[in-house]
Amino acid sequence: MKTIYLKALMICFMINILSCPAQTLPLNTPLKNIPNNAHLKDINNELTQYVGTYKANFNGKEITLFITKQEDKLEQSAQKNYYMDALIVKYIVKNSAGVILQDTMNNNLSNIKFYSYYTHPNQNTIIFYYGGTNCHVGWGDVYLKKVNSTQISWEYRPNDITTTESKCPSTLDTTIYLPETKDLIFTKQ
């Protein structure tokens, strides 16, 4: 009788554990406060206002950003895994003759990562991680600030803009095509 009771108790305990939903937290929860497998959600719709297609011209190049929202993007760190709502950026850069220099939208270059990881709602700003081009040249942060309903301001802060032959084969294109500047205005299309 005691064995049947213990088995029933174990089954109830397992059902409770398996039926517990993952913890939902606001987007800007500090990493140290995020439990493993939690979900950081865009509760206040901070990300939605940035979704769309934006264009700007800089130094003879036309840059088109395609910004989409992805729910529950998996983030992995050394300490834990968690999910977060994020903005994903794909882009096309063309020269003044209309020749495509870099295209992450249609070529689906999976080695180029560009996604939001932090918001500053009081400053209308979202910070993005940009993984750089080949061999991570140009990796760093991009700040997008909402200027008005049709414009965003761009600031790109690369951390590493060069490489060596020992780190990266010379056959790979390590040109940074994104504009390395501050206060560049992109207009929604």
Is residue 142 predicted with pLDDT exceeding 60? Answer: yes
Under the banding of pLDDT at 50, 70 and 90, the label for residue 107 is low
Q: Tokens at residue 77, please?
A: 């760190």
Is residue 17 predicted with pLDDT exceeding 50? Answer: no
57-71, 89-103, 154-168: range with lowest mean pLDDT: 154-168
Contacts of 136 (CB under 8 A, 6+ apart): 160
Helix or strand holding residue 165 (H, E): none
Residue 182 contacts residue 58 (beta carbons within 8 Å): no
pLDDT at 9: 45
Q: How many CB atoms lie within 10 A of CB 126?
A: 25
pLDDT at 169: 84
For the chain, what are the domain ranges? 24-188
d(CA 183, CA 126): 14
Q: What is the pTM of this model?
A: 0.83
161 or 104, greater pLDDT: 104
pLDDT at 78: 81
Residue the block writes with tokens 């063309």: 94
Helix or strand holding residue 84 (H, E): strand 81-94
- Mean pLDDT, the chain, as a whole number? 87
Per-residue pLDDT tens over the stretch 29-69: 988 999 999 999 999 999 999 999 999 999 999 999 999 99
Q: Among positive and negative, which fits the CA dihedral 73, 94, 138, 28?
A: negative
d(CA 164, CA 185): 33
134 exposure class (CB count in 10 Å sphere: 0-12, 13-18, 19+): middle
